[in-house]
Structure 1
Amino acid sequence: MDVQASSDQFDSASAFAFAQAQLGAVDQVMTRLEVSPDGRILDANPRLLRVTGYDLADLRGQSHRILLPPEESRSPAYEALWEKLRNGQAWEGELHYRDSQGRDVWLRGGCCPLQDAEGRTQRILEYAIDLTEKKQATANFEGQINALSRVMGKVEFALDGTILDANPRFLETVGYQLEELKGQHHRLLVDPDYAQSADYRAFWDTLRRGEYLAGEFCRVAKDGHEVWIQGSYNPVLDLDRKPCKIVKFATDITAQVEQNRRLKQAMEEAEEAARVREELHKSLQEMSTPVTPIWDGILLLPLVGIIDSMRTADVMNKSLTKIAETRARVFVLDIAGVATVDTGVANQLIKITKATQFMGCEAIISGVSPAIARTMVELGVSVGDIRTTATLRDAFEIALKRVGSAL
């Protein structure tokens, strides 16, 4: 017996067995498809069958086109690919298939032509990994980002604060073109004094540590005016879970901030008016207070002193004239400065408010103290459907709601 020949046969058998084991291991983690040079499916491993939902009997002998979307199977690019494969050129990239139910399947892999000793392609072997879930997750994520970008400003920054990109909505808010911002530092968009402050340095140190920041921020537009945004600065982490850039999403709230400022100013002015009224109460008892517009659609008449029929007529004329001039929707009659309330005074007040209602203006009587309320009850005076409040502030809040604003 030839020992050397026996040894060579054993080595060949071992090598073949090892190669088969390797292919079997690859089959466990990758899809495999074997196709003839004319595009007929010869074999497929169980993993590809699971991914596509086909049985092997359904695929074997079918054209490779059965796995592709119709528009791609007829494309010039597909024909060019098969021409290269038939000529022995390998290919790698993404494969877009359709499963047996017509759903998209995405694979990443390569096609390798197997040739005989004369260099003729005998079959084409395709190995790939399934990317479908990853593709769907990416598409879902990108879809959400795109949806946010349509309604919110979006800006990307490097960790040092350099602007990398900005979407059209943010550019519209600050009045810049992208080429004017790209490559510039974020400090271009903030007040110069704040840009030099310790708070600003701490702001970026926080983001570089991977901590997000959210809230209301004051920024400066290209023309120098203040822009207020409600937004968040979100560190983006790389594969090592380290921050690699910052993404900001923001909504322009400048109009709301300005409205709140005006409301605050109006409240402060109303409170100041009440304070002055209290201080001058004694000296102004006999004077008539003018009807004052304190907000769009709201009139205030703070009454001070003694109310009689003559003064009631004067106040009523002024009130009705002012309502007609301003087209007011709410009339606040504040009686905190009225010295005493008896049946006569109560009836005079009701006359004034009833007259304003005939003008289509809702009346509110404010400044009703516990003593006044008790007196009116004891006198049997009914205010009917007229709204009353204890304080001017309460009346103002109600009035704001009536005209569609809020504190």
Structure 2
Amino acid sequence: MFGRNSRSDADAQLAAIGRSQAVIEFAMDGTILTANQNFLKALGYSIDEIKGKKHAMFVPADQRDSAEYKAFWAQLNRGEPQAAEFKRIAKGGREVWIEASYNPVPDNAGKPVKVVKIATDITAKKVRAMTEASKVSAISRAQAVIEFKLDGTVVTANENFCKALGYSLAEIEGKHHSLFVAQSERDGGAYREFWAALNRGEYQAGEFKRIGKGGREVWILASYNPLLDENGKPFGVAKFATDITAEKLKNADLAGQIAAIDKAQAVIEFNMDGTIITANANFLGTLGYSLAEIKGHHHSMFVEPAERDGAAYREFWAALNRGQYQAADTSASARAARRSIFRPPTTRSSISTASRSRS
């Protein structure tokens, strides 16, 4: 009676599994005995199309004669269960991914007599995962990528990252992110808050100065992305970065050149409609104005009335609006004459004298 009850319980459990999962049974040589509706639907066959055929009909052609496939069935014949994700071929050559267990069923003597396979169709999940993996792989080929634990410990990094910072993976794996941060920043409140924000699942992005091997300064444009589990809880951080050191140095050099020009020459900036944005001290000193007196006014305030409404002046601004560089030599006497129109007589006199002495 006990044996009959155990068999009845097993059948009931198998029936319950069969209602939600794909189930197929094989003889020990791989011949198909039967399959439930879930399996048939997943693979696109009717039972008559597969019954009596070999399991190999679901296996990619290049795997059917492989040593691994022979070993797979040898293990099942020894009574050893097999479980994994498998790529299978459905009707019409369609690829199907399943998460499955192959379970040898023994007789009373313990000898396997058939195999019951219980499977779940994970094709959609697998395709999404492969798509995401492809995206990550593409990013990794183009960018520097490094992964951290939530405490800042380096888990791994790709070749681009190691090359940019000048380290090998062995030199940084297991070390803390602060290895790449300037000494003056490591103990600061801003750096602690940076990691606290990541631990809260908050994305961080910007330009960062980092320290490469040997103390070399490296500038990166980077995003730090918290990795979330199925419950939305952070468990790590993936950083994607681009080395912008060369660009940063070029910009710094350009900024230095502009600063040098600003010290030596008169500089003024306009909107494209000719409205004054700002001017440096050299320009203001040359023209005799304060910034407050000219800011927001039009460039034409510096032009003689006879020129303001002329075609040449309109074309001058039209050319600038087309992106065409304009240059000319404005004589000192012309500058003085322009200033004399807009400044009080006492100022005009002193500036005119200065202009004559310069000319």
SS of residue matched to 2:193: helix
Give, in angstroms, the shift of residue 86 of structure 1: 3.0
Give, in angstroms, the shift of residue 52 of structure 1: 0.8
Give, in angstroms, the shift of residue 17 of structure 1: 5.7
Q: Structure 2: how far apart are the matches of 1:382 and 1:240?
A: 69
Q: Structure 1: how far apart are the matches of 2:299 and 2:109?
A: 109
What is the match of residue 124 of structure 2? Answer: 133
Q: Which amino acid aligns with 1:252?
A: D
What is the match of residue 271 of structure 2? Answer: none
Q: Structure 1: how far apart are the matches of 2:325 and 2:258?
A: 12
What is the match of residue 81 of structure 1? Answer: 72
Question: Which of 1 and 2 has greater Rg?
Answer: 1
8 Å CA contact retained: 2:144, 2:241: yes
8 Å CA contact retained: 1:216, 1:229: yes
Give, in angstroms, the shift of residue 250 of structure 1: 0.9
**Are 2:31 and 1:40 aligned?**
yes
Alignment of 1:217-366 (within 5 A): 217-272=208-263, 273-274=265-266, 275-276=281-282, 278-279=284-285
Gaps of 5+ in 2: 267-280, 289-297, 327-359
Q: Structure 1: how far apart are the matches of 2:284 and 2:75?
A: 95
Partner of residue 376 from structure 1, selected from 298, 307, 312: 307
8 Å CA contact retained: 1:368, 1:389: no
Q: Structure 1: how far apart are the matches of 2:169 and 2:324?
A: 46
8 Å CA contact retained: 1:155, 1:248: yes
Deviations 1:268-321 (A, max 9, x none): 344441133553679xxxxxxxxxxxxxxxxxxxxxxxxxxxxxxxxxxxxxxx
Give, in angstroms, the shift of residue 197 of structure 1: 1.4
What is the match of residue 163 of structure 1? Answer: 154
What is the match of residue 63 of structure 1? Answer: 54
Structure 2 CA distance for partners of 1:398 and 1:187, relative to 1, 3 Å: farther
Structure 2 CA distance for partners of 1:178 and 1:118, relative to 1, 3 Å: closer
8 Å CA contact retained: 2:300, 2:308: no
Q: Which amino acid aligns with 1:104?
A: E
State TM-score, norm by structure 2.
Answer: 0.73
Q: Structure 1: how far apart are the matches of 2:11 and 2:188?
A: 68
Structure 2 CA distance for partners of 1:175 and 1:389, relative to 1, 3 Å: farther
Q: Which amino acid aligns with 1:369?
A: S
Q: Structure 2: how far apart are the matches of 1:42 and 1:257?
A: 69
Q: Which amino acid aligns with 1:220?
A: I
Q: Structure 2: how far apart are the matches of 1:241 and 1:164?
A: 21
Percent identity of paired positions between Structure 1 and Structure 2: 33
What is the match of residue 194 of structure 1? Answer: 185
Q: Which amino acid aligns with 1:168?
A: E
Q: Which amino acid aligns with 2:285?
A: E
Q: Which amino acid aligns with 1:56?
A: I
Q: Structure 1: how far apart are the matches of 2:36 and 2:59?
A: 18
State the number of aligned residues.
Answer: 301
Q: Structure 2: how far apart are the matches of 1:202 and 1:88?
A: 56
Q: Using the TM superposition, name which of 149-158 and 105-114 deviates more.
A: 105-114
Q: Using the TM superposition, name which of 27-36 and 272-281 deviates more.
A: 272-281
8 Å CA contact retained: 1:368, 1:388: no
What is the match of residue 303 of structure 1? Answer: none
Q: Which amino acid aligns with 1:184?
A: K
Q: Which amino acid aligns with 1:59?
A: I
